Amino acid sequence: MKFSYIWKKNKPSSEVEIISNPSNKELLLKFEQRFLQSMTLNATDLKTNRQVVIELNDIEAIEAAGHFSNLFLIDGTKLILNKILKELSYLESFGLVRINNSHILNLTQIHSFVSGSHARLEVMTKQHNKYIVSRHYAKSIKERLL
């Protein structure tokens, strides 16, 4: 599939025009649905045992914890998510990327990074938390950050 872009200054910034063959209608409807879906996750607050809706921008990191995941927010709150990291791979399109076998990190929360030992990266977040990016993911993370 080929993508062609035409930029028009008189087009409203809230509008995108897509011209396609009718055979792509189903694909484009799925794309639109995925693009317009709310960027939230439902998690459980352990203190109150209630379900809370979390904006993806409020997430610093997600950590694997057996058959569920720990969700760390930028305000320091820790929540539980009833999904494993493998089920959260779709979050990559929203800037939450896998950095090793047990963590997903929000790239917008990265403050700095340095090269570590054995071709790994050491990443520091805006909340002053340190994460290790495995050598398997280091190249793609560097490319997205630079």
pLDDT tens-digit series, residues 18-47 = 888 999 888 888 887 776 665 789 999 989
What is the model's pTM?
0.73
Residue 84 placed within a domain:
yes
Check residue 118 and give its pLDDT.
86
pLDDT tens for residues 73-109?
999 999 999 999 999 998 988 889 999 999 999 999 9
Residue 12 placed within a domain:
no
Check residue 143 and give its pLDDT.
84
Which residues lie closer than 8 Å to 27 by C-beta, 6 or more apart? none
Rounded-to-integer distance, Cα 70 and Cα 84, Å:
10
Residue 85 CB coordination number (10 Å): 19
Domain of residue 68, CATH code: 2.40.50.1020
Number of domains in the chain: 1
Residue 121 placed within a domain:
yes
Residue that is written with structure tokens 């290790």 in the block: 132
Residue 107 placed within a domain:
yes
> Interior CA angle at 67 toward 53 and 137, to 5°?
85
Which residues lie closer than 8 Å to 17 by C-beta, 6 or more apart? 11
Residue 101 burial class via C-beta count within 10 angstroms: exposed 0-12, middle 13-18, buried 19 and up:
exposed
Check residue 37 and give its pLDDT.
60
Residue 77 placed within a domain:
yes
Expressed as residue numbers, the domain containing 63 is 40-145
Residue 21 placed within a domain:
no
Check residue 36 and give its pLDDT.
62
Region 46-56: mean pLDDT is 93
Residue 11 placed within a domain:
no
Residue 120 placed within a domain:
yes
pLDDT tens for residues 107-144?
999 999 898 888 889 999 999 999 999 999 998 888 88
